[in-house]
Structure 1
């Protein structure tokens, strides 16, 4: 009788343990991200990403992802998108015309992630290696009928509730046709804006809002003076936005991979891609420690029709041949292409980003996972 009693007790214990383990798994799988870091490598297609695996001296951070998908990038009207239409797709979840910043195809304003998140007490920030009013970063906080309305976009930055920004573009804030001093206006909104160098976290942790503007317009290439600005700005943005245990959204753009593609300059492109990969590493390192952060890495479009081909060499008698033991970057266009673009995801909900879908789904998947759009 005692044996049956102990057997029953043991069976109950095993069943309870299985139920507890099952509940833990459900809880873990249902865990929604508290923070989102979206990294956009402007102009970065699969061949650009592949270059990191051939030319980076350390293991590429792209290789740390298990969940990978593909997005279709065409804008509402054009097969080949530009950064403005694609940025608006990411930031607001709608297809629009090339050149549009935060507006629909009928020119009406659409809500951006920054505008959706900040009322929920989510801290927000944007980092770029271009001017901070350039198409991709602008799409997350501004509304303009044309991407070239830089002064209007800078004004939208002041009017927004963004908490952290870093990039180029001082002239759009101080040397304006309307005579406004937007740096003074930012200061009036409790911003500390530095136009000299990136600070460290200890120097800014007591501030409520921080901005960095370097140079009149765009920042120089990483190989010509910018150095490791992008990974450092990414880390600083994370540290600042998460202080006081805040939840946050951060967009980081590696702008100049695109410019290397437009210039058909493989060395320029590859050095910018490697720099962007270093920024990805900062985001992943934080996400691994934190456990509540979703990291999504993608691109707005591919630029240059770039590919890694076997290196062309010549024999002693002048005949050309392909040396399959070496690669080199070659291009098919000086513009954008319509190729599908990879998406990499890590953290809570990362599996949602597998498959093939429209670029607007990046926004909708983030909203679904965080519930920022529906929560009060």
Structure 2
């Protein structure tokens, strides 16, 4: 029998033969018993929001937090120096998650496709697979399960909507490179209500540059053909028109169009490939000249559309260019990407902070670059006289350069990515005859950390690719930029000139990098929502388990 019912029954029997004073005592006892009934623990939710900072390991979070809390000119100074990530940390739970391809037949290091698939399915997957288990079988994702339950669904990214991370939640392909097939699958499946990102090039027909009928049709839909003129399809399918005419999607191609578009199905493609980088976004935000929506803008639009579904929703939001900056060892760019992502995290925090029907998980798929601040033997500190009574008449003079906080502001001051520097040296990316003078001029044009031609000359050095593989996407290049240590972990051909820029700037920035690819470091997990749901995330876990926990919380609702 329920405790409350039992208490009322006993009270009624006792009161029948009691004086008024005795009745008062029994009523008090009844109330006390009722108060002892514990509240029902909430163990499921109506909505799940997963935010993925691609490449955002603990080291990257450290860069963001150091900048926010201690940079002399921190943009967080008006916000009590608190990041949105810290707001979630204070209000929810924190844990760590391993992320390598899972199981005894897996491997040590993960790529974004496998990692996102494991988060999406709660099952082990293989490197570079999309939505498949280790045997190559299609596996239902959390997004697809949410849709089967009648919930609304959405994917948001500042890379391409067909890129590995968003694709893994709503597509099933043997390899992440099959973006043209992924584009068609995302639209045809009917599983995703809101798709907001870049990547128009795999939605446009191969003849978009020459077929005037196609170009006119797209212009009438509001597609700026000067920006979206290139196709990466090998056929003449127009997936954008199919989305509108056959599958009921409303379309948006600019930030202004996104603001005004209505309906519960939305396809927004805001660039031909990846969207504007974090440095470019920071610049256009200052003078209000942005034409693309920000990651925050897309997040708010997705929340507005999906939350209208009374059954709830699943939404994945990716800050994908943290990873891109990490791959080329660009600390200034990476800081701006972290700021852009945290801006979107803040939008989610404000939306969810007073709710108890939503689980928010913020994590990364992996760490990129093996980044860190480090102390060095360059620019040793000068001796100082301190007033403390423990100095015993001696000066304060550390043995090494531990890094001035002002370097955080100088990283933020970077006005272009390492790719912008490469484009200045040669817009066609032919660096076979580049010089130290050219590289120094490009670096000094965009970075607050200045270099000489002599310091920059190693960036121009090239050597025979001893790991040549015919027809390989990257390793078929006969020459590679010359990497002097750990060269096996720098794999992306001529892009490695950017990594060499990072090496050139590292000593002055107090930054170090260990790789041009990913590491197996555990990544942070922030979980916010009902405690009965979130307490399980405060542990060391694996992304497979993380995916299972999210699915269980949503499905049990």
- Any unmatched runs of 5+ in structure 1? none
How many Å separate the matches in 2 of 1:239 and 1:290? 15
Conserved? CA contact 1:72–1:359, under 8 Å? yes
How many Å separate the matches in 1 of 2:380 and 2:59? 28
1:285 Cα deviation from its structure 2 partner: 1.2
When you count strand as a share of all residues, which structure comes out higher?
1
Other structure's SS at 1:261 match: helix
How many Å separate the matches in 1 of 2:381 and 2:32? 76
Equivalent of 1:345 in 522, 527, 530: 527
How many Å separate the matches in 2 of 1:261 and 1:312? 25
Deviations 1:44-102 (A, max 9, x none): 10010111211133211111223111111111432000000001001111111111001
Question: Does residue 245 of structure 1 match 2:315?
Answer: no
Conserved? CA contact 1:91–1:139, under 8 Å? yes
Conserved? CA contact 1:70–1:340, under 8 Å? yes
Match of 2:225 in 1: none
Other structure's SS at 1:321 match: coil
Question: Does residue 258 of structure 1 match 2:319?
Answer: no
Match of 2:11 in 1: none
1:186 Cα deviation from its structure 2 partner: 0.4
Query: Normalising to structure 2: TM-score of the pair?
Result: 0.62
Other structure's SS at 2:535 match: helix
Match of 1:72 in 2: 98
How many Å separate the matches in 1 of 2:380 and 2:539? 45
Question: Does residue 30 of structure 1 match 2:42?
Answer: yes
Conserved? CA contact 2:370–2:519, under 8 Å? yes
Equivalent of 1:322 in 401, 405, 414: 401
Match of 1:50 in 2: 62
Conserved? CA contact 1:234–1:282, under 8 Å? yes
Match of 2:242 in 1: 185
How many Å separate the matches in 2 of 1:85 and 1:316? 45
Q: Which structure has the higher relative contact order (CA within 8 Å, separation 6+)?
A: 1
Deviations 1:217-239 (A, max 9, x none): 11120212475701111111111
Greater mean alpha carbon deviation, residues 249-258 or residues 281-290 = 281-290
Question: Does residue 364 of structure 1 match 2:548?
Answer: yes
Conserved? CA contact 1:198–1:212, under 8 Å? no
Other structure's SS at 1:314 match: coil
Equivalent of 1:18 in 36, 42, 57: 36
Change over 3 Å in CA distance of 1:322–1:142 after alignment to 2: same
Question: Does residue 61 of structure 1 match 2:90?
Answer: no
Match of 1:3 in 2: 21
Match of 1:294 in 2: 359
Conserved? CA contact 2:151–2:309, under 8 Å? no
1:148 Cα deviation from its structure 2 partner: 0.3
How many Å separate the matches in 2 of 1:7 and 1:311? 75
Bigger-Rg structure (1/2): 2
What's the RMSD between the two structures over aligned residues? 2.2
Conserved? CA contact 1:35–1:249, under 8 Å? yes
Change over 3 Å in CA distance of 1:45–1:315 after alignment to 2: closer
Instruction: Show the 5 A alignment for 1:150-189.
Output: 150-160=179-189, 161-175=191-205, 176-187=233-244, 188-189=246-247
Q: Which runs of 4+ in 1 moved over 6 A?
A: none
Match of 1:40 in 2: 52
Instruction: Show the 5 A alignment for 1:104-253.
Output: 104-160=133-189, 161-175=191-205, 176-187=233-244, 188-197=246-255, 199=257, 203-205=260-262, 207-225=263-281, 229-253=294-318
Match of 1:84 in 2: 113
Other structure's SS at 1:289 match: coil
How many Å separate the matches in 2 of 1:246 and 1:200? 24
Other structure's SS at 2:308 match: helix
Conserved? CA contact 1:88–1:140, under 8 Å? yes
